[in-house]
Amino acid sequence: FPLYRFYCDYCDTYLTHDSPSVRKTHCSGRKHKENVKDYYQKWMEEQAQSLIDKTTAAFQQGKIPPTPFSAPPPAGAMIPPPPSI
């Protein structure tokens, strides 16, 4: 009996067994795929809102001229790793 069970960060659950076939079955399932999609959708929305907030603050401080699309893209934009608890 293995002491280690695989934990899926996206689904916030432990799989009953830690074997490649169980992981593959889990990761190909509809609920897992929905959870992955929802996680990255939420992350994208947070990134967009953060960029909006930073741009608005910079504009209000006079750091950005009042012309559309004049701000440079954010430095170091990366896709996040899966959540870890």
Per-residue burial over 39-64, b = 16 or more CB atoms within 10 Å of its CB, e = otherwise: beeeeeeeeeeeeeeeeeeeeeeeee
The model carries a pTM of 0.62
pLDDT digits (tens, 9 = 90+) for 20-67: 999 999 999 999 999 999 999 999 999 999 999 999 998 888 887 766
Domains of the chain by residue range: 7-60
Are 9 and 85 spatial neighbours (Cβ–Cβ below 8 Å)?
yes
Written as one letter, the residue type at 7 is: Y
**Per-residue pLDDT band at 1 (split at 50, 70, 90):** very low
Q: List, in order, residues 6 or more apart from 31 with CB less than 8 Å away.
A: 11
